[in-house]
Structure 1
Amino acid sequence: MWRNRRIVALLFALLATQVAALVGPAYACGCGAMVSDGQSRIGVDRETSVVRWDGRTEDIVMRFTVRGDARRAAWIMPVPGRATVELGDGALFDELRDLTRPEHRSRSYFWPRDRDWPFSSGTRDGAGAAAPSAAAPVGVVGREQLGDFDVARLTATDPDALRNWLESNGFELSDRLSTEVRPYVDQRWEYVAVRLAPREPGKVLRGDLDPLRISFASDRLVYPMRLSRMARTPQSLGLYVLADHRMEPASAIGGAAPKVTFAGPVRPESGPLATLVAGKPAFLTAIDQEFPEPGRIHADHELRAAAADTPYRRTVFHDELLTVGGVPAWLLTVTGVAVVVAGSSFALVRTRRRRTVAVPVAGSGSGSGSGAGAGAGAV
């Protein structure tokens, strides 16, 4: 009897393990969902995106930094219109990072602080202070192999049909993701489904993946974010936005207030950035936003022109003790004041001594002369 119970318990545990392995969790990222194959794990540590919009066409170039043990995964992104997909240039992100670096400035302070002599004998460390057809539920409008990416461009009028198509290609989507894509289906959006499968046998998806560039027609600048509400941990969004003017999100869509970290015109003459903007001047706006509670995300980001094209660059100040010839200015000042005070005191003492006059003894000189004169007259 006891042995039979142990066998039943062991079978139950094995069954639970297999069921858990079949559930492929979706990892929300900035503008899509990453799905594993149910037998491995993959997580997105960071997603950096560049958005270019000229009033008619929108280009999104994105690069994922991933971790986990997955040898293949799927990524789904909704788009408002028919999209084209190609490999992006990783040097684009390096160029934009250099363009938007904070300005470093030094500022001096007079009085010593905790890490300065005489309060500390150590040295300072010098650290300074984001129109489908209704004929079929799912249609494949294009498919191509781009490096390690197998890219399929889909139309879908039924979220369950989209899930079924992806599952038939080796990926399992949760019921929740099927529910979350419903608003996009209702708006008759399309999808870019990317199968990440390195050609090199046994290679694991890890680190920085090759960037993808997705282009589609759009009369408004929109950045899909609604799927990020599925994330289980706080999310961070970083966007480089290139347009004719300084851009800003129309609302926070459930996150913290977006922060502009750079704003200014750029005129690239060569390189990947010049290619992206077709050699034309553009206004670059870098935006960061935090989502402490992803479940509160309720819409996609729609960006609009700001009231003015005001330039902005972050400034990092490095505080340094004011010195003169390598000597702290406060020490020179205090020493100088001490010398002046000492000198003044010494001069005052000397002046007082010079003004001191001896008092004469009474009757010692004038009295004798009077007596002599009187005596002579008497004779």
Structure 2
Amino acid sequence: MLQRLSTVSALALACAVVVSPATAEAFCGFYVSGGDAKLYNNATLVVLMRDGTRTVLSMQNNYQGPPENFAMVVPVPVVLQKDDVKTLPREIFDRVDRLAAPRLVEYWEQDPCAPDVFMVPGAPTKKMASTGKGGGGGAPADYGVTIEAQFTVGEYEVVILSAKDSNGLDGWLRDNKYTIPEGAEPVLRPYVQQGMKFFVAKVDVSKVSFGKDGQAMLSPLRFHYDSESFNLPVRLGLLNSSGVQDLLVHVLASERYEVANYPNAFVPTNLEVKESARAEFGKFYVALLDAVMRQQPGAVVTEYAWQANNCDPCPETPLQLEELVTLGADVLPSYAGRVKSADGSASWQVPGEFVLTRLHARYGKEALGEDLVFRAAKAIVGGREVGQAGKLEKGAQPGGTNTFQGRYIIRHPWTGPVTCKEPIRGRWGGPWPDWKGGGGAKPQAAQGLAFAERGANLGMYVAQDMPELQVVAADEVPTPKQEETKVEAKTEAKVEAKSESKTAETVTNSGAGCGCAAGETDATGGLAGLLGLVWLGRRRRR
């Protein structure tokens, strides 16, 4: 994800991250334009399923650009056939993202004099192989490129390529009228040396509808393969990186996953935040994420690890069996024979056997030199409305079952009368019957982070200091009207101070005073000027 769209001339990224329609850059492959067209990639979500040596990769791509044909290129470890590739409904990706996204919850303190009732806030109440000159354009012998398979799926015309060397692959793409940037060959080289194949999914634009804004919503793609290694190719996506990108990966497997070749970190959770965070939740969250990544440069941050069949609190209903089948459970060795019985009924126990892990990385062109390699990790807990000795879990801790989430809380203390002798405080639940504030009981998911404003003062949102991130809780973020009032007040104070200074100067010159008023006036004027700069600085950051 980027803060703004990046124009990619010839080679754009193919597997972008974040999920909502307002997300940006990609990572696991690249787009190869069918001419000199400029392409924009502004929304892709990736979901990985893993079982034994089987990997299922599902990805969603949104892009903006002229209606020319182009191709998406992704390195894969084996030759894929038509039965290995499917198109998916777009809605499934938003479901996964909302379920695993960091969430904002609001709780209201219940009547301290009401009977003591145990409450759990937010509880969920065939082969087509050819070689040499096959099908979609010949592969000259001197290029050493072979078309291993070719087929059509939806609007995609797929070709699977193998290559003897990266120079040959580079030349083949150029000879077949694909404009690729300088510097592609060295990045292709390690994939060719590893014997990787290249999934080239050319889009027939005549089968795609473009919106008024020029954005085409392509059908998401899913394909699966077997490989001992579990990784995600990201280096190709860095060729045209024009800035910092966000990489968001969701993994569905029988256990939690983390990266093996980069540092791992966990997002702080169970933070009490001010009401200003409600209207600017995305802005608050990216400020928090950036603070974590400044403290642990290069880390991949775990934001969610929870059983796929439940959540607490739930911004979205848990995943259902048919959705897991859509994402690839039907081709996983341990589940393929169980997701549907002989009589057509489903095995609904399957969702509870999956853990949904969400990993978030943020990187630039020079910062991510290796593909992401994943490994299984132990279960963690954190971010629940439970704790020990009245203290909530503030971070990831070892646990028997994965129940970790990024959760941020606005609390509304009881404001009604307290009529009993022994009030019980600290019982939290849903809104009061007469609540007329701006909040609601449903959790708010942090989506569309690609374009969330960055650089906010994190201290303006949190209700307590965070010494581990060197964050001090500050005053509420001022509204424009408040800023205007403050500036006016300070201007009036400065004018008044100058008037007093003039009076003091007159008194001093007349010999009737000690002369210290002038010094005090300088200090007052300097302080007013400093405060004015502070407020102006805050305005610029808004």
TM-score band w.r.t. shorter chain: 0.5 to 0.7
Where 1:227 maps in the other structure, the secondary structure is helix
* Structure-2 residue corresponding to 1:256: 298
* Structure-1 residue corresponding to 2:221: 212
* Structure-2 residue corresponding to 1:26: 11
For the 8 Å contact 1:91–1:272, the answer to whether it is kept is: no
TM-score (norm. length: structure 2): 0.47
Verify: 1:226 aligned to 2:226, yes or no. Answer: no
Structure 1 residues 255, 60: closer, same or farther in 2, change over 3 A? Answer: farther
* Structure-1 residue corresponding to 2:90: 90
* Structure-1 residue corresponding to 2:74: 77
Supply the distance in 2 between the matched residues of 1:321 and 1:153 (Cα, whole angstroms): 61
Tell me whether 55-64 or 223-232 shows the greater mean CA deviation: 223-232
For the 8 Å contact 1:67–1:206, the answer to whether it is kept is: yes
> Match for 1:146 among 136, 153, 159?
153
* Structure-2 residue corresponding to 1:323: 415
Tell me whether 65-74 or 207-216 shows the greater mean CA deviation: 65-74
Structure 1 residue 227 displacement after superposition = 1.2
Listed as ranges, the matches of 1:1-379 within 5 Å are 24-28=9-13, 29-83=26-80, 84-107=84-107, 137-200=144-207, 206-230=215-239, 231-252=241-262, 256-267=298-309, 269-275=320-326, 276-278=328-330, 279=339, 280=350, 281-291=353-363, 293-308=364-379, 310-320=402-412, 322-324=414-416
State the AA in 2 paired with 1:49: V
How many residue pairs align between the two structures?
A: 281
Structure 1 residue 75 displacement after superposition = 1.3
Supply the distance in 2 between the matched residues of 1:215 and 1:46 (Cα, whole angstroms): 22
Tell me whether 313-322 or 74-83 shows the greater mean CA deviation: 313-322
Tell me whether 220-229 or 263-272 shows the greater mean CA deviation: 263-272
Structure 1 residue 91 displacement after superposition = 2.9
Residues 255-297 of structure 1: per-residue CA shift (max 9 Å, x gap): 7321222111224553232342233321110111111x22222
For the 8 Å contact 2:100–2:356, the answer to whether it is kept is: no
Supply the distance in 2 between the matched residues of 1:202 and 1:313 (Cα, whole angstroms): 37
Where 2:94 maps in the other structure, the secondary structure is helix
Any unmatched runs of 5+ in structure 2?
Answer: 1-7, 14-25, 110-130, 133-140, 264-295, 310-318, 331-338, 340-349, 381-401, 418-433, 436-542
Structure 1 residues 255, 217: closer, same or farther in 2, change over 3 A? Answer: farther
Supply the distance in 1 between the matched residues of 2:366 and 2:237 (Cα, whole angstroms): 8
Q: What is the RMSD computed on CA atoms of the aligned residues? A: 3.0
Structure 1 residue 191 displacement after superposition = 0.7
Supply the distance in 2 between the matched residues of 1:272 and 1:165 (Cα, whole angstroms): 39
Structure 1 residues 221, 31: closer, same or farther in 2, change over 3 A? Answer: same
Structure 1 residue 108 displacement after superposition = 6.5
Supply the distance in 1 between the matched residues of 2:153 and 2:215 (Cα, whole angstroms): 18
State the AA in 1 paired with 2:10: P
Question: Radius of gyration: which is bigger?
Answer: 1
For the 8 Å contact 1:159–1:182, the answer to whether it is kept is: yes
Supply the distance in 1 between the matched residues of 2:40 and 2:238 (Cα, whole angstroms): 15
* Structure-2 residue corresponding to 1:343: none
For the 8 Å contact 2:27–2:238, the answer to whether it is kept is: no
Where 2:366 maps in the other structure, the secondary structure is helix
Higher percent of residues as strand: 1
The runs of at least 4 aligned residues of structure 1 exceeding 6 Å deviation read 133-136
State the AA in 2 paired with 1:26: L
Where 1:219 maps in the other structure, the secondary structure is coil
Structure 1 residue 94 displacement after superposition = 3.0
State the AA in 1 paired with 2:368: I
Supply the distance in 2 between the matched residues of 1:201 and 1:319 (Cα, whole angstroms): 47
TM-score (norm. length: structure 1): 0.66
State the AA in 2 paired with 1:88: L
State the AA in 1 paired with 2:366: G
Residues 73-110 of structure 1: per-residue CA shift (max 9 Å, x gap): 2211111222332213323213313432545433569x
For the 8 Å contact 2:306–2:403, the answer to whether it is kept is: yes
For the 8 Å contact 1:157–1:185, the answer to whether it is kept is: yes
Supply the distance in 2 between the matched residues of 1:101 and 1:232 (Cα, whole angstroms): 26
Structure 1 residue 218 displacement after superposition = 1.0
* Structure-2 residue corresponding to 1:368: none
For the 8 Å contact 1:26–1:173, the answer to whether it is kept is: yes
Supply the distance in 2 between the matched residues of 1:106 and 1:202 (Cα, whole angstroms): 40
Tell me whether 185-194 or 197-206 shows the greater mean CA deviation: 197-206
